[in-house]
Structure 1
């Protein structure tokens, strides 16, 4: 009966909202008439039900709509007005040339708010003083060159474990599962960077699984588009709160142990391996939020801020390494050229001795990684942007608060920007290729955007590139990679926060 009452109340409210919405959109110079073109929607729900009934992933629908309506178009998804931007110059205009106008984030769903603690995260915070404070602290304390160099031993330790682990797995199973091993290694690096602690592999896997569940449960759901239906999804909200409790239970002990270590001014030991001040969480203990933005940061906020670092960095980096290795397995000539470059730079010494300075001297490695980003961008959309105020883009009106969705996949597939865009050709980033001089930050122009662009670009993109290059160089230097006989790799894509292989890559390794 409660659900029935809520449903009738929602219908009455939706009818009232529909009348208001229709009247407001007929105002001269305002409303939907000035938005970019788009498919005609149904009353109350806009295009939402049309999308659901197609039973296809959203990106395939977007590709069809782009072909019909052009580089910028509108969809009314329930109560969300979504402006989809797909063209290189328009993306550059929105994110770089007019960055402040589109630098905010839209309102979070109730489930997301459980995990972001009221949008207290670098990724989700609205454009303003809190976001600036959090981002500045992150950049200063975690990814400045001095800190990156100071923490190089963490990468050396984690990647030495990685090489041992894949060697043992190959001996036991006859092949290596690439994604699971890369995720575990990158996750161990980021946990140590965040908390200054080494933890057991079993505990590491548990934290990794919990954070993966968090990412999946915060994926878009029906109440995100029709918030009035939120009361009907009490079970999902209950599951989210239980998952949040598990997230807190697995990370709060690390935070408390680190705080005690910092307050006592101890020297590094077997568990707390980073000196005071070298862990990201150390900087958060005394961080003061801007006046009026929120109270003092506490354990809830610490868990959220560290979780976003671990989750975002783990998935994007591990996914990129897997896609790169897929093409090296399928094309032994590319793999052999990369191996020769690595040997020419570092010789036949132990792979564990390859340094971060070494990979900076490997242009073909850089080309392989960039071509992987182009051919397999981590996400086909950037995180949602929101218009800070009523503005324009491409000659169309964009109302304040509209969801501005940047569809980057078409940029990397566009034959006007790339020759043979469906082919994997690292040489395009070498001398004479159509990728030479490409700015992956999008500052000078947009031909690929693996990390976003403008004010909301991923602040740790240089760290992500370092982890990918270093891990790939070590794996190719130590082993030759082959497909499993009778089970060739399957390049089919699927979507789980990042764009991943539907069937994870398995490969045979032979010591060099």
Structure 2
């Protein structure tokens, strides 16, 4: 039999495309879909999305409103960008919108959706969430690790004192702090210092994490146009596979070390989060068996989730204060009044530092680490505000726009912590005006840890040092642009000078 000619393939492809376009048109007639820009064939509205997707979508909301639909290639995406829409998706219809879309990042960098973030809604995910809430991030466990956070924070302050008067890249120091804290809590030791038995060099470990953040935040064409996925036009899948091998080698080593430590020890007491995960993996009574790949997926999630967000937030906060010295002055006045100059700020002091807390909240409002919450997916048909949202539709909650809504915030583009002294907005998912960690079933399970690190590190950086820009640079010269990825850090890292403001003996730490 003769093989089909290229013309037959082309005809079949065109017929398939015509059927897709026809079904989409019929679907739009059957459903009352939210308003949005007219999509192009094949690419949908991807032509309207720039290098900062949250800003592109923000501009579109000005035309189409707080509930709009855009087309990312083959997939409809509904964007909610108001308090009311966030509440509808994350609370009122939380279960309906608790699904996750399939992505290359989820497949290749999380052991085929075996982690907490990308696993589909169902028994496995519910068990994972329960494990996070009841065990990994319980108040008791976080309190037991407070000494780790304190030790690493004191180490950071000591290193800043050594670098006093010299230019430093603040993000590097903040990343080391976050990575050391989370490594000790999750893995049982630090990986920012090379030792004789190190499985990975510190610089390589940081590069692996940077690559993970980039690839999980990248807009991969194949995620939107599946029939182009095999071409890997951007090279992301190749990079994901290479990164996955590196992480698997590292995580296998970590698990082997922990297995060896536990072997033959009766009634072994867990020392870190990997120990806890391995104990659950050994439990025959779990509703869903926690496989070894699940332990590795969880571990990778815990490391990545606990590293970037706090460092990015504190860097933005210090940057904003360098542009507004009067806010820095108010913050240090509060610290001197409440803490004095003969001790450092502890986590328990934060409740008595409302202005420091307000600075942290204002930073999370204006510079959310995740300007679009991790995508959700409709698990069944739903109606929101009179508009139909069919099963399988992807959902984006645009917290970047909510944080700039003039109906909620007076002078929304202005950095003004005082607004949080006037109104008590919660950051733990209850106030839909401010959602740095999300809300509902799918909110970040480690939010309480992230908040502790952000507040304590920010308070002590302001308490211990006067911050200045390098000589010859004015606050007007400070670049405040961001880049987009899994998080949204400053495009140009902050370079600043730290000058001690406490008595010299305070830095003997």
Q: TM-score, normalised by structure 1?
A: 0.88
Preserved CA contact (<8 Å) 1:186 1:313: yes
Give the number of the structure with larger relative contact order, counting CA–CA contacts within 8 Å between residues 6 or more apart: 2
Preserved CA contact (<8 Å) 1:38 1:69: yes
Aligned mate of 1:192, from 177, 184, 194? 184
Aligned mate of 1:69, from 64, 71, 80? 64
Do residues 441 (structure 1) and 457 (structure 2) align?
no
Preserved CA contact (<8 Å) 1:494 1:501: yes
Identify if the C-alpha distance between structure 1 residues 494 and 157 changes in structure 2 by more than 3 Å, giving closer, same or farther: same
State the shift of 1:123 in Å. 0.9
Unpaired segments of 5 or more residues in structure 2?
Answer: 195-200, 502-509
Aligned CA RMSD, in angstroms, stands at 2.7
Q: Is the partner of 1:176 in helix, strand or coil?
A: strand
Partner Cα distance (1:22, 1:293) in 2: 44
- Equivalent residue, structure 2, for 1:23: 23
State the shift of 1:350 in Å. 4.0
Aligned mate of 1:162, from 136, 147, 156? 156
Q: Is the partner of 2:238 in helix, strand or coil?
A: helix
Identify if the C-alpha distance between structure 1 residues 206 and 161 changes in structure 2 by more than 3 Å, giving closer, same or farther: farther
State the shift of 1:265 in Å. 3.7
Q: How does 1:35-434 map to 2 (within 5 A)?
A: 35-48=33-46, 50-51=47-48, 55=50, 57-109=52-104, 111-170=105-164, 174-202=166-194, 203-218=201-216, 219-233=218-232, 236-265=236-265, 276-287=269-280, 296-298=290-292, 300-351=293-344, 354-430=345-421, 433=422
State the shift of 1:257 in Å. 1.3
Preserved CA contact (<8 Å) 1:484 1:507: yes
Preserved CA contact (<8 Å) 1:484 1:508: yes
State the shift of 1:377 in Å. 1.2
- Equivalent residue, structure 2, for 1:477: 463
Partner Cα distance (1:303, 1:72) in 2: 38
Q: Is the partner of 2:441 in helix, strand or coil?
A: helix
Preserved CA contact (<8 Å) 2:180 2:192: no
- Equivalent residue, structure 1, for 2:481: 492
State the shift of 1:498 in Å. 1.6
Preserved CA contact (<8 Å) 1:492 1:501: yes
Q: TM-score, normalised by structure 2?
A: 0.88
Q: Is the partner of 2:34 in helix, strand or coil?
A: coil
Do residues 511 (structure 1) and 500 (structure 2) align?
yes
Moved more, 495-504 or 381-390: 495-504
- Equivalent residue, structure 2, for 1:459: 445
State the shift of 1:182 in Å. 0.4
Corresponding pairs, count: 485
Unpaired segments of 5 or more residues in structure 1?
Answer: 268-274
State the shift of 1:195 in Å. 1.3
Identify if the C-alpha distance between structure 1 residues 291 and 35 changes in structure 2 by more than 3 Å, giving closer, same or farther: farther
State the shift of 1:158 in Å. 1.1
State the shift of 1:87 in Å. 1.5
State the shift of 1:121 in Å. 1.4
Preserved CA contact (<8 Å) 1:478 1:511: yes
Partner Cα distance (1:188, 1:11) in 2: 58
Identify if the C-alpha distance between structure 1 residues 56 and 9 changes in structure 2 by more than 3 Å, giving closer, same or farther: farther
Q: Is the partner of 2:489 in helix, strand or coil?
A: strand
